[in-house]
Structure 1
Amino acid sequence: MEYAGNPVHKRNPGDFGLTPPAAPSPDKTLCDGAEIFEKARAQELLSEGIRRGLVSAQQRGKFPQNVWAVTATGIPLEAQLENHVKGTYHGYPLASNDPLREKVLEWWEDK
């Protein structure tokens, strides 16, 4: 499993190597708000979410469709599987009005 990123969730492309480098979409939450500018940090959060078992029951191939994590500053994140053959994900902060937000915070603390 690998974090790949997605340009629609980035204002600042950081070191993600995205094409296009950054293409923020007005209807998407941005990783910039969670202060995730380094691919290695995004990978750490993805790995920690999997380690803690914060994964969806839905699988695509051998990978979970979604993985959740929480930043050190308490921002809940969701990663979504982009390529079920390669196991690549992109992620984003959960919107403030997303009902899953509180659940992810609870799960993170419980695990």
Structure 2
Amino acid sequence: MKKVFFFLLLLGALCATEAQAQDANAKPVKVKFGKTVLHINPDAKIFMTLEERPVEIEQMALDQIDQAWILAAEALKPADAQEEFGDKATYGIVLLTIDKKYEADALKIIQDVKRRKM
């Protein structure tokens, strides 16, 4: 039930922001990651810390990852994230920390989604 609610929440956020132009000053949207609620730019990139390094995660993969696996979520403003993430931080970064025992499962999901897109 939680997965369905989270999916609907993200779907609503995506639909509401789809018509907006990509603008660094776009109105923030409220999104829940695990137990954390963040207000982020709709165009912010999402990264997950896996094996001690940040890995970019696509929305399709995030939808498949169990929210209980997420231990923490942090929103980095563009100015704070620019040094580490470069141009990908134009609209900010969301950095998710996942429980170590689920890292392999999450990595497999991310890789499967990337393979399907190729």
Asked if Structure 1 and Structure 2 have the same fold, meaning a TM-score greater than 0.5 normalized by the shorter chain, the answer is no
Select the structure that is richer in helix: 2
**Normalized against structure 1, the TM-score is what?**
0.26
Find the structure with the greater CA-based Rg: 2
